[in-house]
């Protein structure tokens, strides 16, 4: 394995009584798009600001190419930040905007000119140097903001919620643009977002944070398929959880008792430290994703599947697929994602008709419940 470009080692950050970052260790590889993902207030910006040097860790260190950066001021780090909503100076031309960082450093005029031209070329804005930001599209303005950071030739570009101020349609387009910009520049991108879909669409790898703690780091696909706990499972996609009241062992296999599901034989590795017949104590849950759930109207048996009966609830049409709600009892419903043909069939049944949700027992995960 190559040496990571950024190595975060045992970093904590406390603001008075608040622990914003709690002992995080994390390596980021050169050339990847890495996302820091988590709900608002979990510490993403604080972690990013420590990489930039705007905040200093209370404990731990940050390394770049193996060298300790922790005490270096922001302007001495080969790391640049693109700020939320791509702030550009509206009264300056594109070229002036891009040149700004070098002008502040009193770089020679001729060198500034060359590097502005290079930076504009890097983001495919050649020939637009004389325009003003209001004469550009939203996507072009994004590229100006990125060019402004790239002109400093950073090793790493930090982007804090870069797309959050844009409307949904533009955001989709800008997401693809960002991936292209990263490929063109070859610079490592670290992107903060609270939007799971954005992280999944953009990032090579994602770190999921909760309350200042690192929950899991992996590729989007692995996070989705093998979440370490119910928090990650629910943050990366959606998940239904069923509280486990007891696990016992029957001939070396686990029998899991989970609220409405009843006792189920689960063929998964037995969690470490689990004593047979003992109440689980620490919260565990069985999880299933809505997209793994099928719906049938008759009680036909599907091998390896578990069936939960209920009545038809609402159907939310979403184009290619629909989300169907099945009411299990007064306090509990399950939603399933079905294709359009199935949705139409179910739509004809009307509320209160008895239907059966079913899914493969093997598609469930046995996870620790979220700490919150
Ligand atoms: N300068 C600061 N002073 C005091 N508390 C702060 C400061 N910056 C962040 N925090 C607190 O640290 C926690 C994490 O904040 P932040 O990193 O901004 O979260 P996120 O970017 O994930 O929304 C929050 O509880 C926030 O109130
Ligand atoms: Mg933030």
Domain match, 213 and 329 both: no
Q: Is residue 149, in this structure, part of any structural domain at all?
A: yes
Domain match, 224 and 299 both: no
Domain match, 333 and 211 both: no
> Which of 202, 229, 256 is a domain's end point?
229
Domain match, 225 and 247 both: no
- 39 alpha carbon – ligand 2 mean position (Å): 9
Angle of the 109-122 helix axis to the 138-150 helix axis, nearest 10: 130
Q: Is residue 104, in this structure, part of any structural domain at all?
A: yes
Domain match, 62 and 106 both: yes
Q: Which atom of ligand 1 is nearest to the CA of 39?
A: 22
- 351 alpha carbon – ligand 2 mean position (Å): 43
For atom 11 of ligand 1, the residue with the nearest CA is 20
> Which of 229, 253, 287 is a domain's end point?
229
Closest residue by Cα to residue 163 from 146, 147, 186: 146
For atom 13 of ligand 1, the residue with the nearest CA is 20
* Whether the CB of 56 sits within 6 Å of ligand 1: no
Domain match, 189 and 316 both: no
> Which of 176, 197, 229 is a domain's end point?
229
Long-range contacts of the stretch 309-314 (C-beta < 8 A, 24+): 309/354, 309/355, 309/356, 309/357, 310/334, 310/354, 310/355, 310/356, 310/357, 311/351, 311/352, 311/353, 311/354, 311/355, 312/346, 312/349, 312/350, 312/351, 312/352, 312/353, 312/355, 313/351
- 20 alpha carbon – ligand 1 mean position (Å): 6
Domain match, 252 and 188 both: no
Domain match, 143 and 279 both: no
Closest residue by Cα to residue 66 from 143, 22, 139, 2: 2
**Distance (Å) of CA 31 to CA 6, 65, 152, 186, 360:** 11, 13, 17, 6, 39
One digit per residue, the tens of pLDDT, for the chain of length 372 reads 578 999 999 999 999 999 999 999 999 999 999 999 999 999 999 999 999 999 999 999 999 999 999 999 998 999 998 876 567 888 999 999 999 989 988 899 999 999 999 999 888 899 999 999 999 987 888 889 889 988 988 999 999 988 887 778 778 888 888 898 899 889 999 999 999 999 999 999 999 999 999 999 999 999 999 999 999 998 998 899 999 888 888 888 889 998 888 899 988 887 776 666 555 556 889 999 999 999 998 877 888 999 999 999 999 999 889 999 999 988 899 999 999 989 998 988 888 899 999 999 999 999 988 655
For atom 2 of ligand 1, the residue with the nearest CA is 15
* Whether the CB of 44 sits within 6 Å of ligand 1: yes
Closest residue by Cα to residue 296 from 351, 236, 358, 251: 358
Q: Which atom of ligand 1 is nearest to the CA of 209?
A: 22
Tokens coding 61: 């260190």
Type and span of the H or E element at 246: strand 240-250
Q: Is residue 323, in this structure, part of any structural domain at all?
A: yes
User: Domains in the chain: how many in total?
Assistant: 2
Domain match, 213 and 305 both: no
Domain match, 142 and 168 both: yes
- 7 alpha carbon – ligand 1 mean position (Å): 22
Q: Is residue 92, in this structure, part of any structural domain at all?
A: yes
* Whether the CB of 193 sits within 6 Å of ligand 1: no
Domain match, 123 and 167 both: yes
Tokens coding 96: 């002036």
Which range marks the domain in which residue 116 is found? 6-229
Domain match, 203 and 270 both: no
Q: How many CB atoms lie within 10 A of CB 175?
A: 18
For atom 6 of ligand 1, the residue with the nearest CA is 15
The structure's pTM equals: 0.88
Closest residue by Cα to residue 219 from 6, 364, 29: 29
CA pair distance 261, 282, nearest whole angstrom: 19
């Amino acid at each position: 394995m190559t040496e990571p470009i950024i190595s975060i080692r045992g970093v904590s950050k406390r603001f008075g009584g608040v622990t914003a970052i709690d002992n995080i260790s994390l390596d980021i590889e050169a050339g990847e798009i890495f996302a820091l993902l988590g709900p608002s207030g979990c510490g993403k910006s604080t972690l990013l600001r420590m990489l930039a040097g705007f905040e200093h860790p209370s404990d731990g260190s940050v390394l770049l190419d193996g060298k300790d950066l922790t005490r270096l001021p922001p302007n001495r780090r080969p790391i640049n930040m693109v700020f939320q909503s791509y702030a550009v100076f509206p009264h300056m031309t594109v070229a002036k905007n891009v040149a700004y960082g070098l002008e502040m450093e009193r770089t020679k005029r001729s060198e500034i000119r060359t590097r502005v031209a290079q930076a504009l070329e890097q983001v495919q804005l050649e020939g637009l140097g004389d325009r003003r930001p209001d004469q550009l599209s939203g996507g072009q303005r994004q590229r100006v903001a990125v060019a402004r950071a790239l002109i400093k030739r950073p090793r790493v570009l930090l982007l804090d919620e870069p797309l959050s101020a844009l409307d949904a349609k533009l955001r989709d387009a800008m997401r693809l643009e960002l991936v292209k910009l990263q490929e063109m520049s070859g610079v490592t991108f670290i992107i903060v977002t609270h939007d799971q879909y954005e992280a999944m669409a953009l990032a090579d790898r994602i770190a999921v944070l909760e309350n200042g703690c690192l929950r899991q780091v992996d590729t989007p696909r692995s996070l989705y398929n093998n979440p370490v706990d119910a928090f990650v499972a629910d943050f990366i996609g959606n998940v239904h959880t069923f509280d486990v009241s007891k696990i016992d062992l029957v001939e070396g296999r686990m029998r899991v008792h989970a609220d409405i599901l009843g006792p189920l034989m689960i063929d998964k590795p037995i969690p470490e430290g689990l004593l047979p017949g003992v109440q689980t104590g620490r919260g565990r849950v069985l999880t299933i994703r809505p997209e793994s759930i099928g719906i049938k109207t008759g009680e036909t048996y599907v091998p390896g599947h578990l069936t939960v009966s209920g009545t038809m609830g609402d159907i939310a049409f979403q184009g290619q697929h629909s989300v169907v709600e099945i009411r299990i009892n007064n306090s509990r419903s399950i939603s399933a994602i079905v294709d359009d043909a199935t949705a139409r069939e179910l739509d004809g049944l009307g509320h209160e008709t008895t239907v059966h949700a079913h899914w493969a027992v093997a598609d469930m995960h046995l996870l620790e419940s979220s700490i919150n």
